[in-house]
Amino acid sequence: MSVSSPVPSSTASRAPAPTKADLLGFVRHVAADAGLIASLPLDPEGRTWVRLAGPGGSEAWLIGWPPGTGTGWHDHADSVGAFVTAAGELRENALAARLPTDGWKTLELTDGVDRERRLPAGEGRAFGRHHVHEVLNESPDRHAVSVHAYYPPLPRIRRYSRTGQVLRLEEVERPEDWQ
């Protein structure tokens, strides 16, 4: 289930491109808005989301995560981003390796590239272009809510499967696939 309801932005349309730090500051500010976080409809079966207007023309989302759900491995292509857990706890598994951006279907990852972060409410992070990760709500009984922002607005998301050290590009999604 998804809910899309833009939240007006107070940022001027000619603002400079937001940095990773700007996006992290924005998602932290939004995550601290208890009323907005509580207004997100939560579905026990699947993730829910509301699109927000981010700073400087960025794309932002408020996302509800039912127990046991996750994104699967993916990246945000040429966008930089940030996210903060607003309620519950999320885990991020990420690759600390620079991968080729295009022209491959299967890669064998080297040892030592895996990183894991636990992100309880109030914790988050910013990331650069082509950051490959997965985000999970591992709670067996509690929803999590998070706030995400990307700049430039997501041109595509590449989805991957992973078996051991082998990463495979499975599909490329465009904005029309998730809006």
pLDDT of residue 103: 83
Higher-confidence residue of 164 and 102: namely: 164
Domain of 34, CATH number, reads 2.60.120.10
Averaged pLDDT for residues 162-166: 96
On whether residue 179 sits in a domain, the answer given is no
- Residue 117: the pLDDT is 97
The reported pLDDT for the residue numbered 80 is 96
Residue 178: the pLDDT is: 67
Residue 91 covered by a domain: yes
Domain holding 111, by residue range, is 20-174
Q: Residue 160's CB: how many other CB atoms inside 10 A?
A: 20
Q: What is the pLDDT of residue 15?
A: 63
Residues 2-47 have pLDDT tens digits of: 444 444 444 445 668 999 999 999 999 999 999 999 999 999 999 9
Report the number of distinct structural domains present in the chain.
1
Residue 120 domain-assigned (yes or no): yes
Is 8 part of a structural domain of the chain? no
Asked whether residue 37 is assigned to any structural domain, the reply reads yes
Classify residue 42 by burial, with Cβ atoms within 10 Å: 0-12, 13-18, 19+: middle
CA 134 to chain centre: 9
Dihedral sign for Cα 101, 85, 71, 134, please.
Answer: positive
Within a domain: 1: no
Closest CA to 56 of 26, 87, 101, 100: 26
Residue 11 lies in a domain: no
In-domain check, residue 10: no
69-123 pLDDT, tens digit each:
999 999 998 999 999 999 999 999 999 988 887 788 999 999 999 999 999 999 9
